[in-house]
Amino acid sequence: MDQERLSAIWARTVEKLKEVVREFRITEDELHEAGRYFDRLGQAGMCRSLIDVALAMTSVDVVSRTAGGTRPNLEGPYYAVHPIRPDGNLLEREPGADVPRLRLSGVVRDASTGRPIPGARLDFWQADADGFYDRKGSHLRGIVVTDAQGRYQITTVVPNDYSEHDQDPIGELFRAMGRTNTRAAHIHVKVSVHGESLLTTQLFMPTSQFLNRDYVEGAVSDDLTVKLESEPPLPNGTKLYRATFDLAVAPRMRSTAA
Ligand code: DHB
Ligand code: FE
């Protein structure tokens, strides 16, 4: 960040925070308590998460949104380098027969022309049915590429609500405020065309109990919540759902496909 921008942002931030100190007549002891809290937050490596929780969606809506395009959403902390899944299957191991499976498909389109975009890369990652991300391997992670008609399809599980902050300073803060620190179940997707990343968003599951109280402020919206349709169960009785979700992106180079 250049010096002028940094100085201007710092000055304005301090000015805004002074207003808060005056409004609540915050004491020096309370300021020091906040300082000790931020020390703990940093030692736990959680500063980025707290900034995301409070502010990332405002940035995303103001900076990353494109006209007519799918609403972007925060990247979150668990993006990684993923393998290509030629058959769209994100499962590296079979979960229990009681874990509902999901076939998600759709079309990637140019937001300005509505034309499908073949060869778009969609990078997916999500939590499992217990709300955990695979942070060592690539289970429930992977890249698929749209076909000649701009279509993609993945096979995965229905993710669950997510809370890994119960034991860390973020959980401590949210508990102290009487709020939950749970994220509504979602699937992350990043779309790139010709090597250029055009959209990072999240698709929310209608099965979530936390759609109206996701701890990331402003993350959940109706336009990013998929509809799950029941399909006939798999031969072993496992539940299967289908969902479609089309994505609209704004390529810098107009797509040439018909
Ligand atoms: C956090 C976790 C997520 O999966 C996400 O998408 C955003 C934020 C978090 O731990 O703060
Ligand atoms: Fe996430």
Taking the CA of 164 as reference, the closest ligand is 1
Contact residues for 32 (Cβ-Cβ < 8 A; gap 6+): none
How far from 40 is each of 3, 37, 45, 46, CA to CA, in Å? 29, 5, 9, 9
Classify the phi-psi angles of 246: left when phi > 0, otherwise alpha if psi is within -120 to 50, otherwise beta.
beta
Nearest CA to ligand 1 atom 11: 49
Let me know: does 58 contact 185? Beta carbons within 8 Å: no
Q: What percent of the chain has pLDDT over 90?
A: 94
| Count of helix runs (H) and strand runs (E) in the chain | 5, 9
More confident residue, 258 or 112: 112
For ligand 1, mutation pick of 49, 130, 132, 187 (most atoms within 8 Å of CB): 49
Between β-strands 240-244 and 101-110, what pairing exists: parallel, antiparallel or unpaired? parallel
Q: How many CB atoms lie within 10 A of CB 218?
A: 15
What 3-state DSSP class applies to 187?
Answer: strand
Average pLDDT on 113-120 reads 97
What band does 164 get if pLDDT is binned at 50, 70 and 90? confident
The residue whose CA has the least distance to atom 2 of ligand 1 is 76
What confidence score (pLDDT) does residue 1 get? 87
Is residue 195's pLDDT more than 60?
Answer: yes
Which residue minimizes the CA distance to atom 3 of ligand 1?
76
Distance separating alpha carbons of residues 190 and 200, to the nearest angstrom: 4
Query: Is the CB of 85 within 6 Å of ligand 1?
Result: no
Share of the chain above pLDDT 70, in %: 98
User: Does 255 score more than 60 pLDDT?
Assistant: no
Ligand 1 in contact with 57 (CB < 6 A)?
Answer: no
Q: Could you give the 3-state DSSP secondary structure of residue 102? A: strand
Confidence of residue 257 (pLDDT cuts 50, 70, 90): low
Give first-to-last CA distance, the chain, whole Å: 41
CA-nearest residue, atom 10 of ligand 1: 49
Spatial separation of the C-alpha atoms in residues 62 and 78, rounded to whole Å: 23
Residue 238 has pLDDT above 90, yes or no: yes
Span 63-91, pLDDT tens digits = 999 999 999 999 999 999 999 999 999 99
CB distance 49 to ligand 1 below 6 Å: yes
pLDDT in tens, 197-225: 999 999 999 999 999 999 999 999 999 99
Instruction: Taking residues 53-60, report their average pLDDT.
Output: 96
Is the per-residue pLDDT at 258 higher than 60? no
Atom number in ligand 1 closest to CA 202: 6
Closest residue to atom 7 of ligand 1, CA basis: 76
Which atom of ligand 1 is nearest to 50's Cα? Answer: 11
For residue 231, the model assigns a pLDDT of: 96
Name residues whose C-beta falls within 8 Å of residue 122's C-beta, 6 or more positions apart in sequence.
108, 143, 144, 145, 146, 152, 189, 190, 191, 247
Q: Is 169 in the pocket of ligand 1 (CB under 6 A)?
A: no
Vertex 123: Cα angle to 210 and 120 (nearest 5): 125
Judge whether residue 253 has pLDDT over 80.
no
What average pLDDT score do residues 51-74 get?
95
pLDDT band at 252 (very low <50, low <70, confident <90, very high): confident
pLDDT of residue 254: 56
